[in-house]
Structure 1
């Protein structure tokens, strides 16, 4: 007989040798991509009660991978899950497949990249520079107040009243004060008022009596004058004040009068240093707030962190002298006094990590000059660890520091760094 070329018989498709051609199924559309809603628990239970598909063990086992990827039809899903309740081997395999699927799709944070704002602003300023730029020494304050305001943005009443413990180092030990998140913002606003008054702006304390010249006295006066504990309403005046401070210092051009010093009670700081001090405290208390509401908070940008560390390093000689006068530093017989401006015994402070650097700290007189030739000790700390030491959040004897040289000098400098802190 001769072979025909007509259409195949109704029995199905045949290959060129006359046998039945293999049936290749079309790809199955995922239930998630089919435009239909995923079956809920009630629908799955109903399918199980109706009997659903009747499939043998091998077919159900072959569906486990698709089930783990949520790619089965509702009927197949019901059949697989009914089978898993009766077959321990398939249940173990299904669990392993679901865990593997989790590794294919690691959970991603819904929070924006902390550096996104900085990159966007840098790009905008590169394309269109500001007509009145913010001075470099005020940029850390501008950035830290903006970061704190972003943290506060979505707080509800529960977060605003969350308890916060303010900590600092006093004398030879740690001191603390309990308040709330709103109380911390009131504290920042009260102390920022020292800079406001120095610049001729409004004092946030207004006519409140008892507001002394120190940060602690101003804060206590504001808290006492509040008829009720501070609430979310404190955010708006605080943020308006921070904007006013940045705007005012930005308008201070080269032809303006010399910037005023900012009094802190027992001492004064030049305006640029005072703004760095306020940026540092804003970051520290933002971390206090973030800890209180169990939210992560990143350190400042490295260039801002470096400025804050530099301010602390420059203040250490004066703090050392004050502690020595109070009898809290090493005995006087270890000192080698020199004429102001001359090199004297020094400690090398090495700050590691982003924003780090090296500073030579004169040990015996604030007027002396740090000198590598007269170096008697060396301390190395991480930048964030040093800042937390300076904030009074890490006891000086527990600071994770690499040390070499004069132990008394090292102890004095670490305790002086902790003494930079205050409420």
Structure 2
């Protein structure tokens, strides 16, 4: 898709980013995992202030990389991001299950390295869809197996965010599986069925709890709590 973006790099996409800035953001976003795996940053970075939360570091680094990349041709930014992605996929952690099982804390989440790769795939797809909509191009969902991995990780993170004190809801994701979220000691209060792509778009901040298509039964407040908590996890 980006190979066909000639002459349209300044098209507004999301937030206050155009196509060029969105690719620069992906270059910045992949850096955290790349750095942990020994890949040097492609844009010089200043040291963040001490005691800075990951969200502020994330926002500051995105702004820094976008400003740097605006001084280069969009094709150069694309080449840098593509090369960094290729370097990530060439690391031993991308192939060796033992190395991939090592836990790392990135973006406030302690997850196996393998799951951080899934997070990178998730964000890349979300922003590809953003660019596609801006350019009037339909972007297909990830392959079924990849989408299933994204959904399972997303539900795991959502379950942790909800905790064990909330009213239990049976969440069914079409074509994937189902989970009981919330308290394990109380009877299920409601059922919520979602399409896997809609769930990912909700967690990615591209659907609101009010507009996401779903099928529900039972306690409406319990369902609303799950949907609102899912939407609150979006950082994209």
Instruction: Return the TM-score normalized by structure 1.
Output: 0.50
1:405 CA displacement? 1.7
Equivalent of residue 228 in structure 1, options 71, 74, 86? 71
Matches of 1:388 and 1:219, distance apart in 2: 21
- The question of whether the paired residues in 1 share the 8 Å contact of 2:21 and 2:66 is answered with yes
Q: Report SS of the residue matched to 1:378.
A: strand
Which consecutive residues of structure 1, in runs of 5 or more, have no partner in the other structure?
1-150, 166-176, 322-335, 338-343, 365-369
Q: Report SS of the residue matched to 2:139.
A: coil
1:217 CA displacement? 2.8
Equivalent of residue 179 in structure 2, options 341, 359, 376? 359
1:224 CA displacement? 3.6
Matches of 1:297 and 1:267, distance apart in 2: 28
1:309 CA displacement? 0.7
Matches of 2:100 and 2:160, distance apart in 1: 27
- The question of whether the paired residues in 2 share the 8 Å contact of 1:198 and 1:262 is answered with no
Matches of 2:44 and 2:112, distance apart in 1: 24
Q: 1:349 maps to what in 2?
A: 171
Q: 1:305 maps to what in 2?
A: 147
Distance 1:297 1:251, change over 3 A: closer
Map 1:321-400 → 2, pairs under 5 A = 321=163, 337=165, 346-352=168-174, 355-361=175-181, 363-364=182-183, 370=184, 374-400=187-213
Structure 2 residue 5 is the aligned partner of structure 1 residue 155: yes
Structure number with the higher helix fraction is 2
State the Cα deviation string for residues 251-299 of structure 1 (Å, max 9, x = none).
5354x596241421x3333211111111111111001111111111111
State the Cα deviation string for residues 196-253 of structure 1 (Å, max 9, x = none).
1111211234334549644323212222445637622101111111111111023535
- The question of whether the paired residues in 2 share the 8 Å contact of 1:163 and 1:179 is answered with yes
Matches of 1:229 and 1:398, distance apart in 2: 39
Distance 1:231 1:376, change over 3 A: same
Give the 4+ runs in structure 1 shifted more than 6 A.
Answer: none
Map 1:49-64 → 2, pairs under 5 A = none
Bigger radius of gyration among the two: 1
- The question of whether the paired residues in 2 share the 8 Å contact of 1:396 and 1:414 is answered with yes
State the Cα deviation string for residues 364-383 of structure 1 (Å, max 9, x = none).
5xxxxx58x73221001112
Distance 1:253 1:358, change over 3 A: closer
Give the RMSD, CA atoms, in angstroms: 2.5
State the Cα deviation string for residues 305-352 of structure 1 (Å, max 9, x = none).
11111111101123225xxxxxxxxxxxxxx85xxxxxx952111112
Q: Report SS of the residue matched to 2:168.
A: strand
- The question of whether the paired residues in 1 share the 8 Å contact of 2:100 and 2:113 is answered with no
Distance 1:282 1:196, change over 3 A: same
Q: 1:271 maps to what in 2?
A: 113
Matches of 1:208 and 1:308, distance apart in 2: 32
Which consecutive residues of structure 2, in runs of 5 or more, have no partner in the other structure?
none
Map 1:5-404 → 2, pairs under 5 A = 151-156=1-6, 158-165=7-14, 177-210=15-48, 213-214=54-55, 215-226=58-69, 228=71, 231-248=74-91, 249-252=93-96, 254=98, 259-264=102-107, 266-321=108-163, 337=165, 346-352=168-174, 355-361=175-181, 363-364=182-183, 370=184, 374-404=187-217
- The question of whether the paired residues in 1 share the 8 Å contact of 2:173 and 2:196 is answered with yes
Matches of 1:387 and 1:253, distance apart in 2: 25
Matches of 2:109 and 2:196, distance apart in 1: 26
- The question of whether the paired residues in 2 share the 8 Å contact of 1:199 and 1:260 is answered with no
Paired residues in the alignment total: 230
